[in-house]
Amino acid sequence: MIARGWADKPGVRILFGRWEDVLPQLGTFDGIMFDTYAEHYDHMRAFHAALPRILKPDGIYSFFNGLAPRCLFFHAVYCR
- Parse the chain into domains and list their residue ranges: 6-78
Three-state SS for 6? helix
Flag whether the pTM goes above 0.75: no
- CA dist list (Å): 6 to 11, 12, 79: 10, 7, 34
The confidence score (pLDDT) of residue 66 equals 65
What are 3-60's pLDDT values in tens digits?
Answer: 999 899 998 888 888 888 988 888 899 988 887 766 777 888 898 999 999 999 999 9
Q: Where are the beta strands (DSSP E) in 14-80?
A: 29-35, 55-64
Q: Tell me the C-alpha distance between 45 and 28, whole Å.
A: 19
